[in-house]
Amino acid sequence: MSTSYENEVIVISGASTGLGAATARLLAEQGFHVLAGVRREQDAERLRRPGLEPILLDVTEPSQIAQLVERMNTLGKPLRAVINNAGFAANAPVETMPLETWRKVFDVNVFGLIALTQALLPSLHRSKGRVVNISSVGGRVALPAFGAYSGSKFAVEGISDALRQELAPHGVQVVVVEPGGMRTDMAVRGEEMAHSLLERMTPEQRSRYNDTMQTFLSYTASMEQAGVSSEQAAKTVLRAVTAERSRPRYTIGRDAAVMSRLIRFLPDRLLDRMIASTLRRSSKAER
């Protein structure tokens, strides 16, 4: 195990499972002292190991953010990076998504990210560290039923662009990581949420959007099967953290890499047709 990073701290939110947990473990193996934000005590006990210190963190709770900052300060070590990984997925057509669900998505994915970043920026200025925001290919292009989730990730992309330019003169780097399809617990929870939202629709809404939701579920199932593992994806986050001069953006998975290139050149309506064709193929493959 490398010990070259043993005097540096990493803060990562959303580390209970999936990409967050895999990244926290990988960074601890490299020698970092990792403060890994989790939501429940049982998640903390499962994650704990040498160099990996779980800490209760709901990014929508200012008191828990303050406690994390206090704990980090007691370590007396420079902060290498904050990795904003906490996320909440909810998928349904814009017309049918309850406003409280929209607010939950943005509270976690956008305002929670901002709150944690603001709290840690004084430390990052002192250490010349970096902000690593886990976005999504859905932050570059939106699919049907992805309005809330993609909307929040589009916001993350814009915030990250502004922050990168604001912090560059002060020696703090800002990096966006854009995963595509992944085999994670978050994807499973997203499917469960989608079923719940479908059940809450009115009969009229269900008749209008049932096909859209079924296509979404088929597409996400196919992407999970073909997606990269959390452990593979964590290696990209490690590069974003440790590269001497990181790139502004990293993609994870072939689908994310291809889509990020296509959207630069294709007209919107042609891209819409390509997305519709891809979704139809995924739906037929699942039947």
Residues forming the active site: 149
Given the DSSP bridges, would you call strands 52-56 and 173-179 parallel, antiparallel or unpaired?
unpaired
Please state, in angstroms and rounded to a whole number, the distance separating the CA atoms of residues 112 and 107.
Answer: 6
Alpha helix locations (H) across 76-146? Answer: 99-106, 113-127
d(CA 99, CA 97): 6
Euclidean distance between CA atoms 127 and 115, whole angstroms = 19
Query: Beta partners for 182?
Result: 228
Q: Cα-flanking dihedrals φ and ψ of residue 128, to 5°?
A: 55, 45
For 58, half-sphere exposure in the C-beta direction (CA atoms, 13 angstrom radius) is 9
